[in-house]
Amino acid sequence: MKFHHHGYVSENPRIRPAAGVGVERSPELPEQMDVLIVGSGPAAIVAAAQLSVFPDIVSCMIEKRDSRLVLGHADGVQQRSIETFQAFGFADEIINEAYQITETAFWSPDPDEPGHIVRTRYTDDDPHGISEFPHLIVNQARVLDYFREFMERQPSRSRPYYGLEFLDLTIGEGEYPVEVRLRRTAGERTGEEFTVRTRYLIGGDGARSGVRKAIGATHQGNIAYHAWGVVDMVADTDFPDIRTKSIISSNQGHILHIPREGGYLFRSYVDLGEVAADDNHAVRLTPLEEIIRRLNAIVAPYTVTPKEVAWWSVYEVGHRVTDRFDEVGLDPDESRNPHVFICGDACHTHSAKAGQGMNVSMQDSWNIGWKLAQVLRGYSSDKLLRTYNAERQQIAQDLIDFDAEWSARMAGQFSDDESIEDFYVRTSEFPAGFMTQYPPSQVISARAVQEAATGYPLGKRFKSHPAVRRCDATTLGLGHQHEADGRWRVYVFADAAAPGESGRVADFAQWWATDPSSPMVRHTRPGDDPDTLFDLKVVYRQHHREYDITDTPEAFRPRTGPFQVEDWNQVWSALPEDSVFQARGIADSGAVVVVRPDQYVADVQPLDGTAALSEFFDGVFDLSD
């Protein structure tokens, strides 16, 4: 964490000074704004948090409830989401209060007594070591609390506007082309309707999204006629895995059992069986007592006696994705750029059992959030926003396909020779959130040289690895230094030349700092610090004690802040016993890895691939219509 370079800080350095729209911000929703965000759940709040970093962007998040969410229905937090929390500064805190899934127990009918279940296997939660972060269970409300706290600490002092309901919108012309009709749902003026105007609108307003309806987007897909009851409760029980994630299959049905945070609460998804096509949702009237009865029938010979039920519901599994994630979609008319976007359940719905809803929704939201910031700050034209639909709709379809198979296997409706245990292990990278891979586009290079760094696949998230920060000999995760500040990361992995020696690294540093074709030179505005848009880091192969930081090129020691002091936090060395060069397949001749503001690898080049880097960033920072 960096501070003091703008002046001495004696209080919490996470609270940044108010600036721009954050100075005396009004509690009333403005009549005009840059971005209006509808909803305050995971699909909305990550974009709001990203935009809150920038004091020159007027972003406002509205919520029809009159206060914060108390009880969220999503609780599974996958490792990719923890990486995201790290970027927003609260990964450690939420890990400490959450339940950590480390293994899964599988239960099946006892061959000697088929009416009873027996444990047949344990599997590690991350059998392939795909992440250094844990898989968590924590109330969605707490996730939202942390994001709100982040927003309130940013220069814009952003916070939700509660008690406002979205009604409809129209898209016209002008600087603020989206007119939005709202209704007050709380306070002395409840029921009052009024309109506001915005440049852009994000609909994170759930499965019954009014924003989706307003732009004419439609769900594609079907309900699978199988029902589940879900219960959060504290109970007396003799079931030995009550505090272990369990997948239970018996002659009486199936259960997905998830312990919750706090040491006592747990959630059980209880199989209620197939539903007739003409049921007309009557299964949703199933009483709690019937769900508990079925739960006990499935776990026999064990018993579960509820002492308190915090929440329960009945739902039918649905797998649907909308035909487009904005009002434009894949319209071949490139003169049309979108102004209204939908995220999360507004554009994809599925079962809760794979724990994907909140996690994928947050990645939707971050994807559009950083892109809107790039456009609104005047660094890219709004054609950049077309990449949101192009990237996220395919990810949603992949999720639907995975969840349909997972749900069918959970319900015993998938017939092949692979056991549910083996399927769970084989596909673990997908639910952890690490199978996303974006294709070449305006923000993913089409000229990448993958062999320069084979362990950083183009279009996938930048997988962190420990290294030593030279200035203070501290071992940290490289990827953990990536903050949600809208900047692009450029990692220079050196060849064998030592700091201070001439060669490819020195030539790259000279090009970056002085050449007219350098992205830093071309796209940084006069008077701005060299690290305003790009966070440039170098990683050397030499032990950190074999050189002084002043041996390194000045490009890796940028001057920053009002005092224009050098930032010495950008120079790193590989760990001798666990080298990032070996772990990530860095070529002996070195590599440059470019990472987007949302942590996805955007380009990989050799150290002399400067022309390709210039071309890529010229496309990103293109301001032409």
The stretch 342-352 carries a mean pLDDT of 84
Q: Give the C-alpha separation, 453 to 410, whole Å.
A: 39
Q: What is the pTM of this model?
A: 0.93
The stretch 440-458 carries a mean pLDDT of 98
Domain 20-73+140-221+320-427 top-level CATH class: alpha beta
Mean per-residue pLDDT of the chain: 93
Identity of the residue numbered 318: G
The stretch 517-531 carries a mean pLDDT of 97
Per-residue pLDDT band for 380 (boundaries 50, 70, 90) equals very high
Inform me whether the pLDDT recorded for 500 exceeds 70.
yes
Q: Do residues 199 and 34 lie in contact, with contact meaning Cβ atoms separated by under 8 Å?
A: yes
Helix axes of 42-52 and 140-153: crossing angle, nearest 10 degrees: 20
Higher-pLDDT residue of 397, 113: 113
Q: Give the C-alpha separation, 144 to 162, whole Å.
A: 14
Calculate what percentage of the chain has a pLDDT beyond 90.
Answer: 80
Q: Do residues 36 and 202 lie in contact, with contact meaning Cβ atoms separated by under 8 Å?
A: yes
Q: Give the C-alpha separation, 90 to 81, whole Å.
A: 11
Inform me whether the pLDDT recorded for 400 exceeds 70.
yes
Inform me whether the pLDDT recorded for 317 exceeds 80.
no
CA distances from 307 to 240, 260, 291 (A): 18, 15, 15
Q: Do residues 248 and 353 lie in contact, with contact meaning Cβ atoms separated by under 8 Å?
A: no
> In CATH terms, are 99-132+225-317 and 450-620 the same topology?
no
Q: What are phi and psi of 79, to 5 degrees?
A: -60, -35
pLDDT for residue 222: 67
Sheet holding 103-110, edge to edge: 113-124, 103-110, 245-250, 253-259, 266-274, 219-237, 304-322, 348-349
The stretch 246-250 carries a mean pLDDT of 94
The stretch 330-334 carries a mean pLDDT of 75
CATH for the stretch 99-132+225-317:
3.30.9.10
What's the maximum distance between 2 C-alpha atoms anywhere in the chain? 78
Q: What are phi and psi of 396, to 5 degrees?
A: -65, -40
pLDDT for residue 315: 83
Strand ranges, E, within 204-334 = 219-237, 245-250, 253-259, 266-274, 304-322
Identity of the residue numbered 432: A
The stretch 510-515 carries a mean pLDDT of 98
The stretch 526-541 carries a mean pLDDT of 98
pLDDT for residue 224: 63
Q: Name the CATH superfamily for 450-620.
A: Phenol hydroxylase, C-terminal dimerisation domain (3.40.30.20)
Give pLDDT tens digits for 104-136: 999 999 999 999 999 999 999 888 788 999 999
pLDDT for residue 432: 74
Task: Please state the domain extents for the chain.
Answer: 20-73+140-221+320-427, 99-132+225-317, 450-620
Q: Give the C-alpha separation, 292 to 406, whole Å.
A: 24
Per-residue pLDDT band for 404 (boundaries 50, 70, 90) equals confident
Inform me whether the pLDDT recorded for 290 exceeds 80.
yes
Q: Give the C-alpha separation, 60 to 200, whole Å.
A: 11
Per-residue pLDDT band for 415 (boundaries 50, 70, 90) equals low
Helix (H) or strand (E) holding 373: helix 357-376
Per-residue pLDDT band for 207 (boundaries 50, 70, 90) equals confident
Write b or e for each residue in 227-260: b if 16 or more Cβ atoms lie within 10 A of its Cβ, otherwise e: bbbbbbbebebebebbebbbbbbbebbbbbbbbb
Q: Do residues 77 and 129 lie in contact, with contact meaning Cβ atoms separated by under 8 Å?
A: no
pLDDT for residue 353: 56
Per-residue pLDDT band for 274 (boundaries 50, 70, 90) equals confident
